[in-house]
Structure 1
Amino acid sequence: MSCPHHTTAAATGAADATGIGTGTTERIVQEEGAQLDFSRDMSYGDYLHLDQVLSAQHPLSPDHNEMLFIVQHQTSELWMKLMLHELQGAVREVAADHLPEAFKMLARVSRIMEQLVHAWDVLGTMTPPEYSAIRPYLSNSSGFQSAQYRRIEFMLGNKNAAMLKPHAHRPDLLADVQAAYEAPSLYDEVLRLMQRRGIEVPASHLSRDFTRPYEADDGVKAAWLQVYRDPRQYWDLYQMGEELVDLEDAFRLWRFRHVTTVERVIGFKRGTGGTGGVSYLRKMLDVVLFPELWALRTEL
């Protein structure tokens, strides 16, 4: 005499590990599979141009580890492309007094920085002998020559005319870097915003030579102290200050992880681009982008 339960199980198919009958699973797969014909429509790979992206890795050495080195830097450049997109948008929104939109973009930039910080953990798995095997094939190429990184530095206020030279061989890239060099930085636009909101900012910092590195000013610190001593009245400016501190905090972490990873992999050798390597990167740790926002904390 057959058991009703067994009869039902036989008719519907035995349950798989998910608790769904195998007959049901097969039907789902068939139904879903029928929707997977992309011969006439744009596919995932088409939309992302994956053929081009995934065929852009061309190791020059016979060493297995060069693929890591290439992918690390290519993905970093993609994140920097998004960072520039967000920074440019934030500058426009600040100039137009659209602060909620700017806050969203700046928060995203800080999260992108976090991604870049963690990326160093992956490159840190490359040992000195592994890097030495590929280094001769790199010639003079160096992250020091990244036009996107230089534009980010300039947009954040770290201006230096000497940093235009590494891009002189590419007029198209030089034009973009030069434009960022000559334009007001994000911080310059924020100071203009504060003036528009009735916070007195020294005239010297409202219409200065924007190609010069930003210099801290007691008058600017006093302006920020006015905001931070009454955050309820100046809430949006207070939030802007904290967004900038978040951004610089993340940027400092990125720089620090860069230094430690380079020291771990190559020690104190000179960089392939001709810089001092770790010695140069350590100097960059001392650069403060928004000095008054850090200095005011001592006086609150």
Structure 2
Amino acid sequence: MKRDHAPVLTGDGATDYARYMRTETLLDLQRRPEQMVHRDELLFQVVHQSTELWLKLAAAELTEATTRLTAGDPAAAEPLLARAALGIRLVTDQLEMFRYLSPVDFQAMQPALGNGSGAESPGWRRVQGASRTLGRAFADHLAEQQIDLPTLRDGNPTDPVRRLAEAMLEWDERVALWRVRHYQAAIRVGGHGAAGTEGSPANVLVRLIEHRFFPELWQLRVTTAGPAGDVTHPPAS
């Protein structure tokens, strides 16, 4: 018996797949060949547009993790952080495409970019805001449960709050690795002068590499517990 594949969803497209995924709109978001000043504009747009989608998803996962944590369920928040971190890993991996974009080709297509900058990314701004909100919610949860960070660090590895803290560190690290790779890609294609060059946007990228959303969690990595459980800095080597 032949299966009926006639679409049942409303919207544009000849199939339900096209209608649900809105492929006609999606695939029309890139500049047409006759509009391009260089064919690698397609590569450039696909990488950045897909980055915006992954950042949108990551921000949504962070927001939901905050909601779960605020409701007193850190165990439910942890896997959401893992999903967000994986999204950033995929964003980082696709920067490998820029290995196929030479400095000469990038310079040829730069007029099409206007004064655009990655710092203007709405996805990145959402991620920044969601990360800060999560950090505040985590601090509030610790205060409500009367948990101090050294105790959390030295406690049960299976404790949901500790596991969430580890997931937050993983998220922070993935973002930092993305920033490093982004900086390297920007230098490689010749869009920016190296860090230290006066007026170079790369100076901003380098500063961002050092930024952490959850510095208090990282600080625990460079401290040790004293005999009475107090936290002391390790001796200088």
TM range (shorter): 0.7 to 0.9
* Structure number, greater radius of gyration: 1
* Aligned counterpart in structure 1 of residue 54 of structure 2, from 79, 103, 108: 79
- In structure 1, C-alpha distance between the alignment counterparts of 2:73 and 2:118, rounded to whole Å: 34
**Local SS of the residue matching 2:54:** helix
* Aligned counterpart in structure 2 of residue 193 of structure 1, from 113, 118, 141: 141
By how many angstroms is 1:110 displaced? 0.7
Q: Give a deviation string over 1:114-172, Cα, whole Å, max 9, x none.
A: 10110111123211011111101211122221122112112223xxxxxxxxxxxxxxx
The root-mean-square deviation of aligned C-alpha atoms, in Å, is: 1.9
After TM superposition, list the pairs within 5 Å mapping 1:149-298 onto structure 2.
149-157=124-132, 185-199=133-147, 223-231=148-156, 235-266=159-190, 268-269=192-193, 276-298=200-222
Q: Which runs of 5+ in 1 are unaligned?
A: 1-30, 158-184, 200-222
Residues 1:53 and 2:1 aligned together: no
**Runs of 4+ in structure 1 displaced over 3 angstroms?**
267-270
Aligned residues: 212
Residues 1:38 and 2:29 aligned together: no
TM-score (norm 2): 0.83
Report if aligned partners of 1:267, 1:278 keep a CA contact under 8 Å in 2: no
Judged with a 3 Å threshold, the aligned counterparts in structure 2 of structure 1 residues 74 and 267 are, in CA distance, closer, same or farther, namely closer
By how many angstroms is 1:229 displaced? 1.4
Q: Give a deviation string over 1:77-125, Cα, whole Å, max 9, x none.
A: 1111111111111111111112222112111001101101101111232
- In structure 1, C-alpha distance between the alignment counterparts of 2:183 and 2:101, rounded to whole Å: 15
Q: Give a deviation string over 1:28-77, Cα, whole Å, max 9, x none.
A: xxx6xx33x43343421111111110111115433111100111111111
- In structure 1, C-alpha distance between the alignment counterparts of 2:59 and 2:212, rounded to whole Å: 20
Q: Which runs of 5+ in 2 are unaligned?
A: 10-15, 225-237
AA aligned to 1:39 is A
After TM superposition, list the pairs within 5 Å mapping 1:6-17 onto structure 2.
none
Report if aligned partners of 2:103, 2:188 keep a CA contact under 8 Å in 1: yes
TM-score (norm 1): 0.66
Report if aligned partners of 1:255, 1:284 keep a CA contact under 8 Å in 2: yes
**Local SS of the residue matching 2:100:** coil
Judged with a 3 Å threshold, the aligned counterparts in structure 2 of structure 1 residues 76 and 40 are, in CA distance, closer, same or farther, namely closer
How many percent of aligned residue pairs carry the same amino acid?
25
1:124 equivalent in structure 2: 99
